[in-house]
Structure 1
């Protein structure tokens, strides 16, 4: 049995986040008998420190949170804690990979790095942060035995930039499929004052790169109903949008929802799903939405086209989104077919298991 350390996440049980959801779903029932995972968790973010979860051992890093500026020392300390006793180390994200030249002097076994979604290109970072993340990414690609890209667009970027092969492993989304009885779904819709098939839904972090302003402008113009779920109180950008569009009768700006039953009902009963992300690779919220067999209206970038195999509907401006909404697309079955083929957690867990067990 291979002993494998996973570092770079807040921890499990997952509270939020794509990487946390990834780990939540490759351990437990999807985990293969040849692999035993140890997950490093933030002691600052978990008041109750359980020792094991879904068959995985949990270890806690004190002092630091897993996100923000503390993510770099958090990841580095996690690396130092797994120098011995592990046949492989899986690092999720590149925040601490600036330390890899030193880590590789001390750890000679298999190192796998999922480089995430080109963090250094995100508009929210300043010049120093972009340089730091770009350098960390370069260290990850140079020193990892296996590089994981979650999207073909990222895979192509790694090859064109570094002339290195990255393994394509996306995310699962079938955990979003719940057995929620129709009566409860109707109660949830009633709570939000909406009716089945009469609204669009979008779920994301409220950030400029997710084109929230563009989506809101389109629905304010079209008069179509929108339920927009996100962290509306987090930043100046989100608060400004809520102030501008919060009183529109056809737009509901709902604060972040972590209840999967509620998310299931909102997605399952909607007319279509709106995905405004312009950065990153394969986005977990898009993959989850694809399982519901609804038409997907996605911002037109290579990552979204790769995820949906060019079979969704795409927009670049609010005007184009208005046109798509008025055309009332109905061909969501293609999205579900792609999701069931490419984005189940059993398949993703098998891909990680294969990369861990393969020869270097």
Structure 2
């Protein structure tokens, strides 16, 4: 069976939740009967390769993100229609083309609709309308709809009257076997002491409550935080960095992709803070859960579902301050629950098998 995967930058994965998903699906394919073909952006890879961990790679000469993402997905779909038995579509931006696609192809479509993109604050009115239209076409023409969080599963059922398959993201790829000496060296590089800092990692966007978290720590000079993100990508990020970088207990760090560095930083933090308020199950949250550290997450249905209501939750800077300073809370129970949930729900081996079941007619 030939399965095309479209809608991502491609493989090898350099960043992004969908890119990591594709990487892990390919790496965990153990079936001789299943052949993946991953559609990749020629703009993102200087060295083209024809095979990656057993998967074929097909290159499209457009950017996978930004304004070109729509024609990128459409061209990928047109190529995949000729070469595949099943098309796995990640995201809805190219799904506006599906009414036309269905005129000339009856290939099985498995579509992960992502995290309700049309509700995100970063899009203007017209972009939101387009994304909502694309989502509607995905639901109408997809043979199987995949959701990554029960909150989105319920949304699809209530909004469209359609059932979907709930498959989350994995996170165990971040686990690295590093020595205490190496970890200490990594912490020293970032100016940190084990157990004496909180950690937050995210894209720097308003919906991720970056300002809320940093405002809380600006009121707690005895509590340290390392906040990792893409601060230069937006006016919001630059303004927030300028506002809070003067506080000695707040360390503002640009994006970190080295898994060994991330392993040491996650393994030795006191708390992991997760401010995402939209988007279903977030990969960075799932990854953090494997490290058995207390997680304090923004209070929304997606985060509560991902953590099974066993983390601590905040909805304002005041609440976050109170939680961190409350010595009576069962943070050890929080930490052990996060690891247990991650082991049970968020391992890539399980998730790869769940996707593979969807390809069969």
**What TM-score comes out, normalization by structure 2 length?**
0.97
Q: Which runs of 4+ in 1 moved over 6 A?
A: none
Deviation digits for residues 14-53 of structure 1 (CA, Å, limit 9, x no counterpart): 0100000000111124443331100000011111101111
Taking the TM superposition and a 5 Å limit, the aligned residue runs for 1:169-318 are 169-223=167-221, 224-318=223-317
- Structure-2 residue corresponding to 1:337: 340
The match for 1:14 is 13
More off after superposition, 167-176 vs 327-336: 327-336
**SS of alignment partner, residue 333 of structure 1:** helix
Question: Distance between the aligned counterparts of 1:229 and 1:205, measured in 2?
Answer: 8
1:93 aligns with 2:91: yes
Q: Which runs of 5+ in 2 are unaligned?
A: none
Classify 1:31/1:211 alpha carbon distance in 2 versus 1 (closer, same or farther; 3 Å): farther
1:352 equivalent in structure 2 = 355
The answer for the alignment partner of 1:141 in structure 2 is 139
| Distance in 1 separating the partners of 2:33 and 2:306 | 30
- Aligned equivalent of 1:79, options 77, 80, 83: 77
Q: Is the 8 A contact 1:282 1:304 kept in 2?
A: yes
CA distance in 2, matches of 1:150, 1:33: 27
Runs (5+) with no aligned partner, structure 1: none
Q: Tell me, what secondary structure is at the counterpart of 1:274?
A: strand
CA–CA distance in structure 2, aligned partners of residues 30 and 273 of structure 1: 32
Asked if the contact 1:32/1:353 (under 8 Å) is kept, the reply is no
Cα pair 1:41 1:60 within 8 Å, conserved: yes
Q: Verify the 8 A CA contact 1:88 1:110 in the aligned structure 2.
A: yes
Alignment of structure 1 residues 112-151 onto 2, 5 Å:
112-151=110-149
What secondary structure sits across from 1:293 in the alignment? Answer: coil
Using the alignment, how far apart are the partners of 2:198 and 2:40 within structure 1?
Answer: 36
- Counting only pairs closer than 5 Å after superposition, residues 21-60 of structure 1 correspond to structure 2 as 21-60=20-59
CA offset at residue 105 of structure 1? 1.5
Supply the distance in 2 between the matched residues of 1:31 and 1:300 (Cα, whole angstroms).
39
Distance 2:201 2:177 in 1: 20
| C-alpha distance in 1 between matches for 2:30 and 2:357 | 11
Tell me the C-alpha RMSD between the 2 structures: 0.9
User: Does structure 1 residue 168 correspond to structure 2 residue 160?
Assistant: no
What SS does the corresponding residue of 1:96 show, helix, strand or coil?
helix
Q: What TM-score, normalized to structure 1?
A: 0.98
Q: Is the 8 A contact 1:148 1:166 kept in 2?
A: yes
- Residues paired across the two proteins, number: 356
User: How far, CA to CA, are the matches of 1:22 and 1:301 in structure 2?
Assistant: 24
3-state SS of the aligned residue for 1:84?
helix
d(CA) in 2 for partners of 1:303, 1:33: 36
Query: Separation in 1 of the partners of 2:31 and 2:66?
Result: 33
**2:217 alignment partner, SS class:** helix
SS of the residue aligned with 1:314?
strand
Q: Aligned equivalents of 2:95 and 2:231: distance in 1?
A: 32
1: distance between equivalents of 2:302 and 2:49?
37
Within 2, Cα distance between the matches of 1:330 and 1:307? Answer: 18
Deviations 1:52-106 (A, max 9, x none): 11110001001x1001111101000000111123110000000000000011121
